[in-house]
Chain A
């Protein structure tokens, strides 16, 4: 039985660098796996943050560790770092609290601290055993064997054993939860003894292990696994659920018996209180008046203000989301490639990005994550060229332009801002994009579901998995396909790439795919990458943000 760190690395290497984010290593590791299926967005919000299911546990507390075992804690907290209440101004309200069911990123930001998983995503994007002490795969990669950490207590005082792990996994397997579909490849779940757990797959399926690092397969006590819907989550995490008022606040308190507590890595804070403030301006004001020590979802326009402030600081994490303009290729007029190209040439993407992001973003013509091998360096956004735009319009037989609806989800202020500039620029060649701000729920039903739109904007989260970038949104079989652009050559390329493990071969296919996307002017007109923007009081310290670019981990934060 070979002892491999995780089944995800293409070459089996266990290279850890320091805790600095090393994208290359991660992307290498990710190459072999079908990515976390990011199920798109749910829930309306009034903030910057798009929602995602790709929640994963926070960055590992013990960076630089090269063993395969996750470290146990010694239960004591740091010296002067201990204590304090964090007042956190949140952007999007926490919704339902069932970890196996709730996909919204806002909820994940708190759940990540309450429930834990068998494996955990590291800053270098590798997966490390967490609640599992060791993880082995069989030669045929069909069996996963884990020994569990001992002495792990749940918030209700009971000890975690394989009974709880099995119950949690069975709950997902047999119910209707987010990760349930993945159990199609699972033949059997076994708990040979109190601290052993085995998963028998029907065929090697790397993405399953990736899923195990998300709260969709979090470990809850057997008693909760029996519930239809969990309302007050009990887990093994450093913080326990205290109380919440829907859409208003959420409180969690330090769990004194956290199994992985340590002097350097916390948890230190006594209480974390999240107050929901949907308006970014008010949220920032509350930070500067001292009502909060930490906020997420800082509006790009406030970045300068925050940077020049003496008592607070800006923290960023890039990139977070990719924003694009969606064109309905199944309907007039955007079913015509020349029309799409005309619009492309009418837009000055730098200006649009600058208007929306105040210099905190980057334009792009490829959906591949910046710095990844999937980026085709030769494909760049088309520069603004009104003559070419008009020429294409003529070719399409619409020399005087045309008028269409432009549906913008109003909960994303940067998209609204960008849309105003887009509409203005397009009008210079006679293309009249009539802005209609709609709620997220209307976007979902009108634009995504019924495809009743001509032009729109939307976003998806930072995508470390090329399969999501290239397949999920742009291949007709992808889960979030809605712009109707169907190019058979492109489809062939990205479908083939799913089954390859060699990075270079895959990269070649994705590079070609990017070219085609650009040439044929796919229905996704990419606009910009934008960053996670956090605001923190100067006395609030520790790590901000996590490896997945979306959730938050409060264990190593303290106030001093």
Chain B
């Protein structure tokens, strides 16, 4: 019987693991796409963290006398139809996008991974049943499903996260399942079974950590889908509520001023574009690094 090791000891990376991480980091650095992507994402995270400091004006203070002004020194991105500073709103909006992006995908990862690994590892009827349910959820186009859920849940940012988590869980589950299927046949699993470890122990301590590579890739790709989905939902009026500076909501309002004050929608549009490009590059780059043949699923 293996002696019980303390949790802390088990979590401390072994030398072998540390080496793996180091090699991984080198390969990431070597891959241009991943590097650029990582740079963009990190920049975004920094902007989001320091947003209240960076943003010079309030996001909700209206000032009718300065409405719809073109970009100027005082307002580098111009003002919107209520006189609010667009630069401040775009900067604060980064928090919304990251909040939704990370929030929904982390939730989807948490739930989807568990479902997928259980299905993949256990196989049989559990696998079939779980996967059919996942297929059913994937049978709906993501935005359609998300917006129906939003109508049920009520328009609110935290509900967006819930809805998107629900929508993307199946995609994560699929990836987790196929990774688990592969891992199932590995020798270390056989060894664990031989040792008499319980299924649960095997799944959570052995199989799960080794599935992290494809999940990481899928996760970061899905973050960009989630950000795009939130923008679509807010554009349709079913996401963030005013005065929340969601980029999608800003575009929704800005579309009414396209010909007279295009800056109202251009800047949030650029923001979304750059953010999504960043996450896509990161995801793509990670996939190149980890294993070009890793099975990822386009949502």
By a beta-carbon cutoff of 8 Å, the part of chain A in contact with chain B is: 279-281, 285, 299, 301, 305, 351, 354-355, 410, 413, 416-417, 419-421, 423-425, 427, 434-438
Complex Cα spacing A436 to B155, Å: 7
Question: Is B17 located at the chain interface by the 8 A CB criterion?
Answer: no
Binds A, one of B110-118, B214-222, B237-245, B273-281: B237-245
Question: Is B15 located at the chain interface by the 8 A CB criterion?
Answer: no
Of the listed residues B61, B64, B81, the one surrounded by the most CB atoms of chain A closer than 10 A to its CB is B64
Which B residues are in CB contact (< 8 Å) with A355?
A: 62, 64, 67, 82
B260 nearest in chain A by CB position? A305
Q: List 16 A-B contacts (CB under 8 A).
A: A280-B256, A285-B259, A351-B64, A355-B62, A355-B82, A417-B81, A419-B242, A421-B62, A423-B242, A435-B241, A435-B242, A436-B154, A436-B155, A436-B156, A436-B241, A437-B242
B255 nearest in chain A by CB position? A281
* Binding site secondary structure of chain B: loop
A437 touches B82 (CB 8 A): no
Which B residues are in CB contact (< 8 Å) with A281?
A: 255-258
Which A residues are in CB contact (< 8 Å) with B154?
A: 436
When A351-B64, A354-B64 are in contact, do A301 and B81 touch as well, CB less than 8 Å?
yes
When A435-B242, A436-B241 are in contact, do A420 and B82 touch as well, CB less than 8 Å?
yes
Question: Is B31 located at the chain interface by the 8 A CB criterion?
Answer: no
Complex Cα spacing A279 to B237, Å: 13
Complex Cα spacing A46 to B64, Å: 24
Which B residues are in CB contact (< 8 Å) with A427?
A: 60
By a beta-carbon cutoff of 8 Å, the part of chain B in contact with chain A is: 60-62, 64, 67, 81-82, 154-156, 237, 241-243, 255-260
Count A-B contacts at CB 8 Å.
56
Complex Cα spacing A413 to B252, Å: 12
Complex Cα spacing A280 to B257, Å: 11
Complex Cα spacing A419 to B241, Å: 12
B256 touches A437 (CB 8 A): no
Q: Report B260 CB to chain A, min CB distance, Å.
A: 6
Complex Cα spacing A437 to B243, Å: 11
Complex Cα spacing A305 to B257, Å: 11
A421 touches B260 (CB 8 A): no
A424 touches B64 (CB 8 A): no
Which B residues are in CB contact (< 8 Å) with A419?
A: 242
Complex Cα spacing A424 to B58, Å: 11
A434 nearest in chain B by CB position? B241
CB within 8 A of B62: which of A301, A305, A420, A435? A420
The 3 A-B pairs of least Cβ separation, nearest first, read A281-B256, A424-B62, A421-B62
Which B residues are in CB contact (< 8 Å) with A410?
A: 237
Q: Report B251 CB to chain A, min CB distance, Å.
A: 13
Q: Report B116 CB to chain A, min CB distance, Å.
A: 36
B261 nearest in chain A by CB position? A301
Which A residues are in CB contact (< 8 Å) with B260?
A: 305
Q: Report B69 CB to chain A, min CB distance, Å.
A: 14
CB within 8 A of A423: which of B243, B255, B256, B258? B243
Other 15 A-B pairs with CB < 8 A, given A301-B81, A424-B60, A435-B243 = A281-B256, A299-B256, A301-B256, A305-B259, A351-B62, A355-B82, A417-B81, A419-B242, A420-B82, A421-B64, A424-B61, A424-B62, A424-B243, A427-B60, A436-B155
B68 nearest in chain A by CB position? A301
Which B residues are in CB contact (< 8 Å) with A280?
A: 256
Q: Report B60 CB to chain A, min CB distance, Å.
A: 5
Q: Report B255 CB to chain A, min CB distance, Å.
A: 7
Q: Report B63 CB to chain A, min CB distance, Å.
A: 9
CB within 8 A of A437: which of B62, B241, B255? B241
Complex Cα spacing A305 to B258, Å: 12
B64 touches A437 (CB 8 A): no
When A301-B81, A436-B155, A437-B155 are in contact, do A423 and B60 touch as well, CB less than 8 Å?
yes
Which A residues are in CB contact (< 8 Å) with B259?
A: 285, 305
CB within 8 A of B242: which of A299, A351, A354, A420? A420
Complex Cα spacing A417 to B82, Å: 8
Which B residues are in CB contact (< 8 Å) with A423?
A: 60, 242-243
Which B residues are in CB contact (< 8 Å) with A285?
A: 259
Which A residues are in CB contact (< 8 Å) with B242?
A: 416, 419-420, 423, 435, 437
Of the listed residues B61, B154, B256, the one surrounded by the most CB atoms of chain A closer than 10 A to its CB is B256
A299 nearest in chain B by CB position? B256
Q: Report B123 CB to chain A, min CB distance, Å.
A: 45
Complex Cα spacing A285 to B258, Å: 10
B67 nearest in chain A by CB position? A355
Complex Cα spacing A450 to B260, Å: 41
Which B residues are in CB contact (< 8 Å) with A417?
A: 81-82
CB within 8 A of B243: which of A351, A354, A420, A425? A420
Which A residues are in CB contact (< 8 Å) with B237?
A: 410, 437
Complex Cα spacing A413 to B241, Å: 14
Complex Cα spacing A301 to B242, Å: 19
Complex Cα spacing A355 to B60, Å: 14
Complex Cα spacing A72 to B158, Å: 65
Which A residues are in CB contact (< 8 Å) with B256?
A: 279-281, 299, 301, 413
Q: Report B252 CB to chain A, min CB distance, Å.
A: 10
Which A residues are in CB contact (< 8 Å) with B61?
A: 424
Complex Cα spacing A417 to B64, Å: 12
Which A residues are in CB contact (< 8 Å) with B62?
A: 351, 355, 420-421, 424-425
Q: Report A242 CB to chain B, min CB distance, Å.
A: 33
Which B residues are in CB contact (< 8 Å) with A438?
A: 155
A436 nearest in chain B by CB position? B241
Which B residues are in CB contact (< 8 Å) with A301?
A: 81, 256-257
Which B residues are in CB contact (< 8 Å) with A420?
A: 60, 62, 82, 242-243
